Every structure is written in C-alpha cells, then in structure tokens.
Amino acid sequence: MSSTKFDVIVVGSGPGGYVAAIRASQLGLKTAVVEAAELGGICLNWGCIPTKALLKSAQVFEYINHAADYGITVKDASADFTGIVKRSRGVADGMSKGVTFLMKKNKIEVIKGWGKIQPGKKVEVTDSEDKKTVYAADNIIIATGARSRELPAMKIDKKKILGYRDAMVLDKMPKKMVVVGSGAIGIEFAYFYATMGAEVTIVEFLDRIVPVEDAEVSKTLEKLYKKAGMTIMTSSEVTAVDTKGAGCKVTVKTAKGEETLECDVVLSAAGVVSNLENIGLEDVGILVDKGKIKVDEYYKTNMPGYYAIGDVIPGPALAHVASAEGIICVEKIAGQNPDPLDYGNIPGCTYCSPEIASVGMTEAKAKEAGYELRIGKFPFSASGKASAAGAKDGFVKLVFDKKYGELLGAHMVGYNVTEMIAEIVAIRKLETTGHELIKTVHPHPTMSEAIMEAAAAAYDEVIHL
Ligand SMILES: Cc1cc2nc3c(=O)[nH]c(=O)nc-3n(C[C@H](O)[C@H](O)[C@H](O)COP(=O)(O)OP(=O)(O)OC[C@H]3O[C@@H](n4cnc5c(N)ncnc54)[C@H](O)[C@@H]3O)c2cc1C
C-alpha cells in the first residue's frame, strides 16, 4: 500500500478524467490520475482529435480536386494514405504529450497501470510488470470511458470488420467500404474514405442518416452524400458478414428484401459501450443500470466517496460533456456549489463536409413537447460569405417557442457550422429571445450572419431572402 493518501484519485485520463484532475488540483486538492494506456483517453488518442486530423486531410484533398472552381489549376494531385494516417497519429501524440505537460504543471501524480476500485476508498493499480500497489483517497472518480459496440452479426476482427480504432490506422486505402451506423462516427469515416476515393455504402437501421439530428438536416446530408457518390441504405440491417473470401460479403436486410454487398472492409460504427468490466464496481457495490453507472446530479454514485463521470454514465457520450461533468464533480467535492449541468443545452457536432451542428430540441421534439412554434430558416445559398467561399450547401434552422420567443433549438448543416453553434449555446444559456438575436449585429460577411437572418426569418423580418 502506498503511504501517500490523496484527496482525489481519478481512474482514467480522458477528457473527463484529466480535466477533473486539473480542476481538483486548482482547488487545492492533492490529486492522482490512474491511466492504463495513453494520457488523454479516447478523445485525444483515438477519437475526436485523430479523426479531425484525418478529416482535415480529406478536406484539403477535396479542395485541391476542386481547385479549378476557385480559378486555380493543380496537376496530378494524389493522396499519400500512409502519410495521412501518420500525420493523424502525430497530432494525437502531440495532444497526449500536452496532457503529460498539464499533469506536471498542475502537480498531479500520474500512476500508470490498470486501476480497480476497492472498498474503503482505495484503488489497486496493476502496472505493466503485474506489480500491484494500493492507493487511498477521500474521493475516487471513475472515468474509464467507452469502447466500440460490437453487433452480434459483426464480430470485430480488426482486419476486415473494423472498430473505429482500426479504421484510423489502416495500412492501405480500401477500395470498397461498408459503414454500419450513421451517427457522428460512421458519418465522419464515410466522408473521409469516400473523399479519399473509396466506394462507400452506409447502412442505417433507422429511416434516415444522422437520426438524432433534425429531419431536414438528415435530408440535406443524404442528398449531398449521394451527390458525392456514396450509397445510402436506410431502414436496413446488416444480418451477417462473411469474411472467408478475399473481401467481405455483407448481408443486408432491407424493406424490399435481402441484398448482398461486396467490400474490402466493414466499419462497425454502431455506438459505444461503457468500460465497466474488471474495475471493481461489484466489490464496492456500485449500482449500474442499463450498462451505465448510476449517479446523481453531482456525479455521486450510491457509495459515498465514489463518483463517476463521462462515457460511463448516462447522457451524451461527448468529450465536452465528460469535461463539464468532471469540473462540476470536483467543484462539489471541494465544497463549492456549482450549478448542475444543463443537459438540454449541450451542442453536438459532426465534422464531415458539410459539417453538422445542433443544440436543443429538433422541430419534431419541440412539437411532441407541446410547443407552438416559430421556425426560421436561412439557406447558405443566400449568404455572401458562403458564396465567396464556394460553400453554398446547407442552412441554419432555428426553432422558437411562439409564446415567449424562447430559442428551443438550433440545427445547422454547412461549412464551418461547428464553430458557429457555441453562439447559440451562449444565447440559450443567457435566455436570449428571438427579438434580441435579430438585433444582435453580426459581422459581414460571415457564415454566422445566417443565424441572425434565420431568427429574422422566424419573425418575418428576414432581409436577404
Ligand atoms: C472515433 C471517435 C470520434 C469522436 N469524436 C468526438 C468529437 O468530435 N467530439 C466529441 O465531443 N466527442 C467525440 N468522441 C467521443 C469522445 O471521445 C468521448 O465522449 C470521450 O473521450 C469520453 O471521455 P471519458 O473521459 O469519459 O473517457 P475516455 O476518453 O474513453 O477515456 C477513458 C480512459 O480511461 C482509461 N481506462 C479505462 N479503464 C481503466 C482502468 N481500469 N484503469 C486505468 N485506466 C483506465 C482508458 O485507457 C482511457 O484512456 C469521439 C469518439 C470516437 C470513438
């Protein structure tokens, strides 16, 4: 048993864990982080950051291939797939090193190894040489994250049936790929591989792609993806994958019957499952419900002194959510009185081209909730900046409550919209009404003018339509 006792031990160093540790240290708490793999978790090493690096390469390639649209001649552009993957890994490594620096700067002890919580507010850590050391703390935060969900019909073999990690580090470009699932992860990989030249088919169980988004966003993306050459099969289910031959034979059950698709690789992008196994939850008696650790609004589990944040608890599996939860959790531990997180005001972004960004209720959800609505929509085809940028696809759609002017939701698809959504999150937090938004001067020419114009459209005051 280590003689050092900590105020806080965080198990897992993803954007939930490392951010919680930094905030705890800022608040004067003696803090340690236990990490079995790379510092920074999935987000920095195998999620948000390396995928955005891959997507950037695809966007650069797309730009170059369309250089003539901008009056520029480029001859013989070709993509070096290995170089693209190498760049992505380099970006991820750099980010992980950044977390190492932040741990040092904030005097946080990094304990390398597999953490298992024990009764009596202890964590047993098994290092790479199988040596076990037990550490004690007044507060233990579980932040062990999540991994790819495996569908029964598609056992991930890392060669032909890929999880997201494998799809990030392929050693050669597949010619044909089937992407199963059209949430953010599936859609981003589909864009990446299609832009790099693969023949991509997306299979989605529900009746539209990006099914959590507003229906109009799904429709627009589907149209643009089809225009870009992708095949989209909705209301369809993969029932079997035969990997015995040179490639894969994918059996898909559709409304019209069964179809067989041939491809080199299949990407299983059907969501994630929380990492709850072999971390001591049963030994301590921590309650789990539907695959997630049960917590209250300050992330306390049913066992005093044990907390959980990020992808192991219910709520959207997003890096910024994990970080926000970590901060609230330790501020409460330190005796502060933070506001609980408003899960109704969490932005969600998909970084394909065009990008998708949204927050709050979709039109359908707002109607279901009984609101009478004012909808304002502004297409980028009417935006000066979008025209100049050659990015006229997409729109901003705002959903207002008719009675009080509350902005219930915002849904965007288009160039740069992932950078625009934070404005909406802020104005919703400040309870800004549609009238105030119309009177908020936006710089010209910017894509963000479309937000002001969409608000104006909701009140029949739109100028540029
Ligand atoms: C391909 C992909 C793209 C994504 N893109 C985005 C995006 O653009 N934006 C966004 O917001 N979210 C994105 N996400 C989701 C985001 O990565 C997660 O929501 C986020 O990483 C969750 O953070 P976390 O701290 O809960 O856990 P994680 O980041 O999963 O970190 C958990 C850490 O705990 C460690 N660990 C697990 N068990 C133990 C143990 N017993 N002992 C010690 N260490 C342990 C793991 O090694 C890992 O480092 C993406 C995810 C994927 C897979």
Report the nearest atom of ligand 1 relative to the CA of 37: 47
Above pLDDT 70, what percent of the chain? 100
Q: In 10 A of CB 451, how many CB atoms?
A: 25
Residue nearest to atom 30 of ligand 1 (CA): 145
Q: Ligand 1, residues 19, 34, 42: which to mutate, most atoms within 8 A of Cβ? A: 42
The answer to whether residues 286 and 263 belong to one domain is no
Q: Is 6 helix (H, G, I), strand (E, B) or coil?
A: strand
C-beta separation of 332 from 298 below 8 A: yes
Residue nearest to atom 52 of ligand 1 (CA): 47
* Domain membership of residue 206 as a residue range: 161-270
Confirm whether 444 is a catalytic residue: yes
Residue nearest to atom 6 of ligand 1 (CA): 48
| Token pair for 141 | 């935060």
pLDDT value at residue 106 = 98
What's the CATH code of the domain at 392?
Answer: 3.30.390.30
C-beta separation of 41 from 348 below 8 A: no
Residue nearest to atom 53 of ligand 1 (CA): 47
The answer to whether residues 126 and 194 belong to one domain is no
Number of domains forming the structure of the chain: 3
pLDDT value at residue 110 = 98
Residue nearest to atom 47 of ligand 1 (CA): 37
Centre of ligand 1 to C-alpha 338, Å, is 24
The answer to whether residues 90 and 237 belong to one domain is no
The answer to whether residues 127 and 193 belong to one domain is no
The β-bridge relationship of strands 407-414 and 355-360 is: antiparallel
List C-alpha distances in Å: 459 to 102, 402, 412, 415, 434. Answer: 47, 10, 19, 25, 8
Residue nearest to atom 1 of ligand 1 (CA): 47
Centre of ligand 1 to C-alpha 156, Å, is 19
Mean of the per-residue pLDDT values of the chain: 97
In a domain, 241, yes or no: yes
Of 310, 343, 376, the residue at which a domain comes to its end is: 343
Of 215, 238, 270, the residue at which a domain comes to its end is: 270
Q: Ligand 1, residues 33, 43, 352: which to mutate, most atoms within 8 A of Cβ? A: 43
Centre of ligand 1 to C-alpha 147, Å, is 8
pLDDT value at residue 390 = 96
C-beta separation of 292 from 314 below 8 A: yes
Confidence of residue 313 (pLDDT cuts 50, 70, 90): very high
The answer to whether residues 281 and 134 belong to one domain is yes
Report the nearest atom of ligand 1 relative to the CA of 48: 5
Residue 76 has pLDDT above 90, yes or no: no
pLDDT value at residue 2 = 82
User: Which residues have CB under 8 Å from 23's CB, separation 6+?
Assistant: 326, 327, 330, 331
In a domain, 53, yes or no: yes
The answer to whether residues 13 and 140 belong to one domain is yes
In a domain, 464, yes or no: no
The answer to whether residues 100 and 174 belong to one domain is no
Average pLDDT estimate for 114-125 = 98
Taking the C-alpha atoms of residue 34 and residue 37, their distance in angstroms, rounded to an integer, is 9
Centre of ligand 1 to C-alpha 321, Å, is 11
In a domain, 155, yes or no: no
C-beta separation of 355 from 349 below 8 A: yes
Q: For 314-340, write each residue's pLDDT tens digit.
A: 999 999 999 999 999 999 999 999 999
Q: For 126-147, write each residue's pLDDT tens digit.
A: 999 999 999 999 999 999 999 9
In a domain, 348, yes or no: no
Instruction: Give bridge partners of residue 11 from the DSSP assignment.
Output: 34, 142
Q: For 337-386, write each residue's pLDDT tens digit.
A: 999 999 999 999 999 999 999 999 999 999 999 999 999 999 999 999 99
In a domain, 156, yes or no: no
The answer to whether residues 28 and 142 belong to one domain is yes
In a domain, 463, yes or no: no
C-alpha closest to that of 394 among 382, 407, 379: 379
Centre of ligand 1 to C-alpha 123, Å, is 20
Q: Which of 411, 435, 442, 444 is catalytic?
A: 444
Taking the C-alpha atoms of residue 83 and residue 290, their distance in angstroms, rounded to an integer, is 41
Confidence of residue 121 (pLDDT cuts 50, 70, 90): very high
- Side chain identity at residue 254, one-letter code: T
List C-alpha distances in Å: 288 to 269, 329, 452. Answer: 24, 19, 44
C-beta separation of 338 from 332 below 8 A: yes
- Ligand 1 neighbours by CB, cut-off 6 Å: 11-17, 34-37, 41-43, 47-48, 51, 114-115, 143-146, 164, 185, 275, 279, 310-311, 317-320, 322
Taking the C-alpha atoms of residue 267 and residue 245, their distance in angstroms, rounded to an integer, is 17
Residue nearest to atom 27 of ligand 1 (CA): 145
pLDDT value at residue 332 = 98
Centre of ligand 1 to C-alpha 143, Å, is 9
The answer to whether residues 137 and 43 belong to one domain is yes
| Token pair for 22 | 């930094």
In a domain, 153, yes or no: no
What's the CATH code of the domain at 52?
Answer: 3.50.50.60
The distance from CA 136 to its chain's CA centroid, rounded to whole angstroms, is 33
pLDDT value at residue 3 = 78
Of 292, 324, 343, the residue at which a domain comes to its end is: 343
* Sheet of 176-180, strands arranged across: 161-162, 265-268, 176-180, 199-203, 231-233
pLDDT value at residue 4 = 83
pLDDT value at residue 1 = 79
Centre of ligand 1 to C-alpha 318, Å, is 8
User: Which residues have CB under 8 Å from 59's CB, separation 6+?
Assistant: 195, 353
The answer to whether residues 228 and 262 belong to one domain is yes
The answer to whether residues 306 and 430 belong to one domain is no
Please, what is the Cα angle at 340 between 338 and 344, to 5 degrees?
140
The answer to whether residues 15 and 138 belong to one domain is yes
